[in-house]
Structure 1
């Protein structure tokens, strides 16, 4: 039932978006933002009254159905995207990151959560659905189209998220959080002057944005707080990885690394893992045996259930609640 509701709502949103796209000669994603705003407000901008006569009523859908329908529309708009930051975290990967975040923070009340590179907010929304008790949630995103879609998507899902439209490697006006969750942007950071403020700045040339995002995230995490990153598989083997190793050794404990299945990604070079960290604090200590796991295909239910049972056991034995 949920699937047909999702498809039905997606089709309505998609049809309206294509109409606006043709009429205003905008990109699909920008047209989608116009449509989602009209759906949220309950009425379109005056100049689009004719094109957007029949707006869907999202109140008659479950929150997850709304998220998935919007997600499908965003994915359609991103199909032709060449920029890495215009790609969405796959649903299965986001669900698994949420499962791990839930395990790390089990029993904690009124969690403060932050995603410094939120894109359209899909990863953050999925993780929020899997946490026991969420308090303040905030997100940073520099891309104007992506943050607009993220805000509208959150509004339609009735999720309270504070969004910062800024370069997330600049300072934030916020207190440290209990949990950072992020699909790290991969590549070079062009602002060498700003990069000099970081311990992991490159000795020469541009610094890696993904390294600086880890450092920035740790800066905004409480002592003893947790970080869940979707990382490129080559993270610990790149030419600047010695700085990363040294920084992590000084500032955090590695809780675990979970390799995601090859089948979840288009090519080997796009493969990712999930890195789990805990920020150092007076009551924290390194684990004798971090969680190291390689996931089978998400479609292999039996193998997945088996590894989940093993991981649940690991959390039970190794994480002091």
Structure 2
């Protein structure tokens, strides 16, 4: 951990040096820093950064020994720096990278449920790309679908897409990304799979929300509900969605209206409540929602309901995998 902390601080020093020279946000400087390191060249536009800063950066970059670092370490450092940039630049909490442990749980279910064929996978709220790339990396490591994936991402924030672009490069993942509102028509083939950490909050474009059954009767509509409906509209028949959603929409007053509607539209497969201590307060509690679109040989099944007590204990994930196998054998296979 000491080595990671030292590396992090050395990288941060490079980013801050460039930030000061260009007078940009930490996030912009972070993207440019990794762009420079990956291309082994310091980008200069209209005389910025100046010659003195270029010399200073050249020495700082050399001290990083970037080419000798493993892809895993580069990804880890970049993710930590993105977290710092999101905090320091005052970006929305929805733009925070999704914790890797959540990607591990989702990948476990994807490996079990998805067909072993070429898959089109999309994230319509890709943000930094952390969730999608972590999941795809685990699928590739398991040689799922012979690691044959066609990937698409959507986000309406250019800075997030810049983060995702660097992250894709570090992960050696090919993806086509679109800067647009994810609740407007998608400009790529219907996906077999959607995986997303859905943005939580109110959607400001009332005229567009009016096109959705899940719109609010009064005031702004809830973006996460609209996104689920948009995903269902765009998923291929029998396609799967693996979504991180607010727990409030699945139970209590929030779920009493939404869940009956959802149960008519898709086949619910699983709801996994995440550990209480994974979130700062109960209002931020999230669950993983997994469903399959109607079509082909898709049929109804018993819903796999469970709660994870911890991300930190390996035995909890092992227990989850055992339960998943039992449920799958009984209901899906």
Q: TM-score under structure 2 normalisation?
A: 0.87
> For the Cα contact (< 8 Å) 1:9–1:66, is it kept in 2?
no
- Report the counterpart of residue 234 of structure 2 in structure 1: 220
Match of 2:79 among 71, 85, 93: 71
Q: Could you tell me how far apart the structure 1 residues matched to 2:195 and 2:250 are?
A: 19
C-alpha displacement of 1:239: 6.1
Match of 1:92 among 81, 101, 107: 101
RMSD over aligned Cα, in angstroms?
2.2
- Report the counterpart of residue 166 of structure 2 in structure 1: 152
User: Is residue 2:298 matched to residue 1:284?
Assistant: yes
User: Is residue 2:38 matched to residue 1:40?
Assistant: yes
Equivalent residues in 2 for 1:193-212 (5 A)? 193-212=207-226
C-alpha displacement of 1:164: 0.6
Equivalent residues in 2 for 1:138-287 (5 A)? 138-237=152-251, 241=255, 244-287=258-301
> For the Cα contact (< 8 Å) 2:119–2:192, is it kept in 1?
yes
What SS does the corresponding residue of 1:79 show, helix, strand or coil?
Answer: helix
Q: Could you tell me how far apart the structure 2 residues matched to 1:158 and 1:52 are?
A: 25
> For the Cα contact (< 8 Å) 1:261–1:294, is it kept in 2?
yes
Q: Could you tell me how far apart the structure 2 residues matched to 1:5 and 1:222 are?
A: 45
C-alpha displacement of 1:201: 1.8
- Report the counterpart of residue 126 of structure 2 in structure 1: 118
> For the Cα contact (< 8 Å) 1:195–1:207, is it kept in 2?
yes
Gaps of 5+ in 1: none
Q: Could you tell me how far apart the structure 2 residues matched to 1:93 and 1:102 are?
A: 14
> For the Cα contact (< 8 Å) 2:248–2:254, is it kept in 1?
no
C-alpha displacement of 1:8: 5.8
C-alpha displacement of 1:84: 2.2
Q: Could you tell me how far apart the structure 1 residues matched to 2:105 and 2:66 are?
A: 27
> For the Cα contact (< 8 Å) 1:16–1:51, is it kept in 2?
no
Gaps of 5+ in 2: none
Match of 1:135 among 141, 144, 149: 149
Q: Could you tell me how far apart the structure 1 residues matched to 2:176 and 2:6 are?
A: 30
> For the Cα contact (< 8 Å) 2:121–2:191, is it kept in 1?
yes
Per-residue CA deviation, residues 93-137 of structure 1 (Å, 9 max, x unaligned), is 2222222222221x5222111000010000011010122134200
Count of aligned positions: 316
Q: TM-score under structure 1 normalisation?
A: 0.90
What SS does the corresponding residue of 2:237 show, helix, strand or coil?
Answer: strand
C-alpha displacement of 1:24: 2.7
User: Is residue 2:55 matched to residue 1:50?
Assistant: yes
> For the Cα contact (< 8 Å) 2:137–2:171, is it kept in 1?
no
> For the Cα contact (< 8 Å) 2:249–2:259, is it kept in 1?
no
Q: Could you tell me how far apart the structure 1 residues matched to 2:249 and 2:6 are?
A: 40
Q: 1:239 to 1:298 in 2, by over 3 A?
A: closer
The structure in which a higher percent of residues are helix is: 2
What SS does the corresponding residue of 2:117 show, helix, strand or coil?
Answer: coil
Q: 1:153 to 1:301 in 2, by over 3 A?
A: closer
Q: 1:177 to 1:8 in 2, by over 3 A?
A: farther
Q: 1:62 to 1:100 in 2, by over 3 A?
A: farther
